[in-house]
Amino acid sequence: MKAIEQTSSSIFVDFRFLGNKEEIAFNPHQQKVYLLDFEKPVYVLRINNQVGLATSGKVIPANNINGNEPEVIGVLPAFTPQMWGNEDFKSTYRTSYSYYTGAMANGIASTNMVIALGKAGFMGSFGAAGLPPARLEEAIKAIQSELPYGPYAFNLIHSPNEDALERNAVNLYLKYQVRTVEASAFLDLSPSIVQYRATGLEIGKNGNVEIKNHIIAKVSRKEVALKFLHPAPAAMLQLLVNQGKISPDQARLASQVPMADDITIEADSGGHTDNRPLVCILPVMLSLRDEVQKQYAIPFHVRIGAAGGITTPSAVLAAFMMGADYVVTGTVNQACVESGASDHTRRLLAQAGFADVTMAPCADMFEMGVKVQVLKTGTLFPMRAQKLYDLYTRYDSIDAIPVEERDKLEKQVFKRSFDSVWDDTVKFFSERDPDQITRANSNPKRKMALIFRWYLGLSSRWSNTGEKGREMDYQIWCGPGIGSFNDWTKSTYLADYQSRHVVDIARHLLVGCCYLDRVQQLVRMGVKLQDGIDHYVPEKQLF
């Protein structure tokens, strides 16, 4: 059976191929080898009513040779994985690829992950959210020691109920000159993120504003995107000047640049998500960016990236074809050996299907009713977390909850008394944000929320540390894309979760993207593909 047939007329009717006919491939295996050689153009040829491929030779006008030479149907240009996306993205962050791995809280996006990626030319964002200042400082030192010139980023998560966490993180980033932060879960701009941006601004040698502190904002709503597309609010800049946190010159420069260098459009992802389809939200955000920059004549071009469901080569290709400047992966990296997740959690992720996810109340914005997307198979966390939120909305204090319900919570969920949980909560916030305890002592409902958040917060840590006896309480952030990844790799070495490495997966996604792009070009030429040529599967490690 022929691997390729051609079903429409040639688009290169006035050209012929001049080269060694013995090197023209007609069998599927050799054709795939040629298609994977991205540094060479591929000539698509018709000879004796068959379609073959070649990577050597040249195309010349048809009138210069006899009619016995192969006719040229088309040419697939050389195009490597490094060529996808936006060149400015790569130069800004000193990466080889328009691809980075997003932050996953509590160090799931670990130092090992960020370092491995950085050494391979990819940027990784460290999962700083939820970590105490000492742990974050330790991570900064470790990553900077291995990657003194980058590339790397650190997460800055919005903490509207715990301002001290955000302030502490920014203070550390400024102290250690962390030049790239990935801002996530922001509902509005905060003084801390504005301070970070403004502190890194100065006039360059050419007289233009030079940005040293870069912000990649992860958003899923237009109203939030607008805040990062515009410069920082004048009132907030003046407040920071009055507090002595930035200079008047820095405030003036901050009024001339957008808050973000890049905006990652987060579609249906793990963790904090609005579950938006990428095919709907990305084009809208690209148009919004163009509209804002044209209307306000902002001299800095904000790049737009795609995240959420980027777990297969076809998803990567779709994002770039829709106009994304770069792509971001998340859930798929949690299943890698470099992640901070436990062995048990990574095994569950490797078995998940795309329907094995659900939304559950989150710890950091529990009182606001905000939810995160998590794995629902192999754990009771989603059901138990929802029960806690239902009780929180129904009652004004722990004491108001019926005795039978309280007993169930203490014995089945918390596995300890509320008084014991409160003692741990006091110790926890005494180190991070003592004001939380002061407010809770005068507000019984607030105290109940902190007690419930003890479970919500620890459930993700149990998942990371592999806490024995708590497997059914693991909170595993996960998007439906993990199912797509597992389906794509089910018959390959990557089906084994212990064989999943973050750099290897990144390269397979980009190599597969290049391969599928060539396949689609063949389809547009009217070439009919057979014998599995239209699929890319990872056959060996690429690192």
Place of tokens 């820095």: 250
Do 258 and 228 meet the contact criterion of CB atoms below 8 Å apart?
yes
- Beta sheet of 271-272, edge-to-edge order: 271-272, 371-375, 357-361
- What residues pair up with 50 in beta bridges, in sequence order? 47
Instruction: Find residue 357's DSSP bridge partners.
Output: 375
Is the pLDDT confidence value at 271 over 90?
A: no
CA distance 232 to 230: 7
- β-bridge partners, 326: 305
CA distance 306 to 328: 6
User: Is the peptide bond preceding residue 28 cis, with omega within 30 degrees of 0?
Assistant: no
Q: Does domain 83-341 have CATH number 3.20.20.70?
A: yes
CA distance 114 to 146: 10
Q: Where in the chain is the domain with CATH 3.20.20.70?
A: 83-341
For 106-111, what is the mean pLDDT? 96
Whole-angstrom Cα distance, residue 358 to residue 373? Answer: 6
- Banded pLDDT at 160 (limits 50, 70, 90): confident
Q: Band the pLDDT of 8: cuts 50, 70, 90.
A: very low
Q: How far apart are CA 477 and CA 248, in angstroms?
A: 42
User: Which contiguous run of DSSP H or E holds residue 242?
Assistant: helix 234-242
The number of C-alpha atoms within 13 Å of 211 and in the hemisphere containing its C-beta is 24
Angle at which helices 481-489 and 313-321 pack, to 10 degrees? Answer: 130
Name the CA dihedral angle for 250, 256, 259, 265, rounded to a multiple of 10 degrees: -160
Output the average pLDDT for the chain: 92
- What pLDDT, on a 0 to 100 scale, did the predictor assign at position 9? 44
Per-residue pLDDT tens over the stretch 64-98: 555 567 888 899 999 999 999 999 999 999 999 99
Helix (H, G, I), strand (E, B) or coil at 168: helix
Other residues' Cβ atoms within 10 Å of the Cβ of residue 244:
7
- Any alpha helices (H) in 21-63, and if so which ranges? 28-35
DSSP tag of 57: S
pLDDT band at 4 (very low <50, low <70, confident <90, very high): low
pTM: 0.92
**pLDDT over 70 at 6, yes or no:** no
Backbone angles phi, psi at 74, to 5 degrees: 180, 175
Q: What's phi and psi for 7, nearest 5 deg?
A: -110, 0
What tokens were used for 219? 């958003």
DSSP state of 231: P
pLDDT confidence tier of residue 159, bands split at 50, 70 and 90: confident
